[in-house]
Chains A and B, each alone.
Chain A
Amino acid sequence: MGYPSVERRRVLAAAALGREPGVPGPDPDDGRPLRAISGEILDISPHLIIIETPDGNQERLVIAPWATAWHGADTAPADLPVGALVTMRALQDGRVVERIWADTTRITGTILSITGRRDLTLELDCGPHRGHRTVLVPYRASGRIQVRHPVFEPGYLFDAIGIRQDGAGLALLPATSQPPYPARAVPAPPPAYAGVQQRVSGTATWSDTFDEDEHGLAYPMLERSDAACPDAETSCTGLPYLSIGSLVQVRNVCTGRSANVPVVACGCVAGRFCDRCVECDTSPRGRVAELSPSSFVELGGDLVKGCFNAQIGLG
């Protein structure tokens, strides 16, 4: 069965159970709202950036004096190349940019093969919806990446952050430390003795397989038959079942921001990861949500760090 009207599901479910249908978007009590803007750089100077957004509009934004940029390494915003695809975190109703990530990509999947001696070429299986992907690990980054992947062999998980270069992914930074067991041997969740918990803690990550500017998340615990996702229902955290279209309240424990984000995809790859995030404290094991870059940035996350400690509940 397809999803003829997933956006209606929330309204229908709320009507049947007599509850309020939540509203997607950030919590209004969070103070200064952050806005994520993505697009292609048309022109950039130390104080002003002009981008073309995915819907074809031009936006002129002020670059804050304290702003920083990342393009494989920390750089000054003015040094970013014209034509780069950027995601930006903006303040003041989205007019003042304070952080820019250029051509940033995240490579998440199961290693299928590793070739090369100095520069390594990896082929990854990124799950049933995302297909295969080839990524290059340059020699200068391979030590750093391998130390966070204790078993760097086919059949094990891989997660790194890098940049897109000439159409291929270049892995530069490891995202998190991976436990040393194969991708298919996901540990069972801890037993739920005290009934269901209102909020589940874990780590929230981001993925670049969403559309630009899309707000949503991929959730591991969907019914296989509902989501047409044969690898779903796997997680090492005791997650409740939700469906595509459910609204999840995600709270960034590190910054205190929270937002209601709809489930838009099956997070079957995220469910296989049983790692921790050490962004502000050590989180419990397991990825509870894989956010789109826009949602991740608006919750105060840093794309280069790759994760934040999160609590989720039903929105």
Chain B
Amino acid sequence: MLESQLPAVIVLLLLGTAAKLVTVRTGGEPGALSRLGPAVLVPGRMQAPALLFCAAVEAVLAAGLLLTTHPAFRWGTAAFFAMSTYVLLELRRRRPDAGCGCFGEVSSAPVGLRSVGRTVALTGMALLSVWAPVPGWAAFTHPTWYAAAGVALLAALSPEVEELINRVRYRAPCEQRPAPAESVTLGRLRASGTWRAHRDELTSADPYDSWRELCWRFFAFRNRSGEDVVFAVYLSGRRPAVRVAVVTPEDSDSLPTYTQVSA
């Protein structure tokens, strides 16, 4: 029974590590880190190192809990969550607008009582596990109802669950979402039947121009008669819609021209 909460604690520590690493790695928008978690309490240039340090501590604790029964890791975990509770309370007092950052950028909602309650619950679970007779991996092999109850309690106290559900339900429209890299879209174009139908007429397999407008990425090629062949690839889905047009150079003669700039 004492070891029943170890799996939940270990999984949460590992999730926290991964989410923090992803947040620092992608960098988000410049300044995004400055709205996240305990990092806001340190100066700007220290924010990424602070998140990385936090992630490293969590990874070490999770590994220790999983593989050994050494009391240092167990007391360390209890102390880590107790300190987190204090930091969250401090964050709530000093920066009521900042998110807890516990799971990186998903936890960007302001710290509420639920987040604080979760760290209190985790402190309790870590304390319970201090006297567990077996290491974490053994607890994973014998799941109990107590473990399920712990997970349910944590889920109820996690505002991130609702955030993730909302993100899936209300995704930004394709026009506003960052698109896959140009090479990925070009790969999808080359896998399409439209491409195979026009491939032999093109002078080069690489486009001379490529641009994105709304939910379409356009690739412009030249064919052997000197005409432009333009493919439009929809940016959503694995087998997207592909449209093609062949435009003769004269088609644009009547249009007014404007110069391009160096601004």
User: Which residues of A are in contact with B by a Cβ distance under 8 Å?
Assistant: 1, 3-9, 11-13, 15-18, 21, 23-25, 129-130, 182, 184-186, 188-189, 191-193, 195-196, 207, 209-211, 214-216, 218, 221, 223, 225-226, 233-234, 238-246, 262, 264-265, 314
Complex: how many Å from CA A244 to CA B211? 8
Chain B proximity of A150: nearest CB distance (Å) = 17
Chain B proximity of A47: nearest CB distance (Å) = 34
Secondary structure at chain A's binding surface: helix, strand, loop or mixed?
loop
Query: Chain B residues near A129 (CB, 8 Å)?
Result: 262-263
Complex: how many Å from CA A241 to CA B211? 10
Instruction: Give chain B interface residues in 215-263, CB to chain A under 8 Å.
Output: 216, 218, 220, 228, 230-232, 243-245, 247, 251-252, 255-263
Query: Chain B residues near A188 (CB, 8 Å)?
Result: 29
Chain B proximity of A288: nearest CB distance (Å) = 13
Complex: how many Å from CA A76 to CA B176? 47
Query: Chain B residues near A9 (CB, 8 Å)?
Result: 209, 211, 218, 220
Is B214 located at the chain interface by the 8 A CB criterion?
yes
Is B145 located at the chain interface by the 8 A CB criterion?
no
Please name 12 pairs of A and B residues whose Cβ atoms are closer than 8 Å in the assembled complex, sorted by A: A3-B209, A7-B252, A9-B211, A11-B247, A12-B218, A18-B243, A25-B256, A188-B29, A192-B176, A215-B258, A234-B29, A240-B173
Complex: how many Å from CA A18 to CA B182? 23
Is B34 located at the chain interface by the 8 A CB criterion?
yes
Question: A12 to B247, Cβ gap below 8 A?
Answer: yes
Question: B29 to A196, Cβ gap below 8 A?
Answer: no
Candidates A5, A130, A241; contact of B214 at CB < 8 Å? A241
Beyond the given A11-B255, A225-B182, could you list 7 further A-B residue pairs with CB under 8 A, ordered by the A residue number? A23-B256, A185-B31, A186-B30, A191-B172, A233-B178, A240-B173, A245-B211
Name A222's closest neighbour in chain B (CB-CB): B212
With A185-B31, A264-B260 given, is the CB distance from A4 to B209 under 8 Å? yes
Most chain A CB neighbours (cut-off 10 Å) among B179, B182, B211, B245:
B211
Query: Chain A residues near B263 (CB, 8 Å)?
Result: 129-130, 207, 209-210, 218, 264-265
Is B175 located at the chain interface by the 8 A CB criterion?
yes
Complex: how many Å from CA A25 to CA B214? 22
Chain A proximity of B189: nearest CB distance (Å) = 12
Complex: how many Å from CA A192 to CA B172? 5
How does the 8 Å CB contact mask read for B23-58 relative to A, with 1 for contact and 0 for none? 000000111001100000000000000000000000
Candidates B170, B172, B212, B243; contact of A17 at CB < 8 Å? B243
Question: A243 to B256, Cβ gap below 8 A?
Answer: no
Complex: how many Å from CA A243 to CA B219? 13
Name A261's closest neighbour in chain B (CB-CB): B258
Question: B258 to A1, Cβ gap below 8 A?
Answer: no
Name B170's closest neighbour in chain A (CB-CB): A193
Is B210 located at the chain interface by the 8 A CB criterion?
yes
Candidates A7, A238, A262; contact of B176 at CB < 8 Å? A238
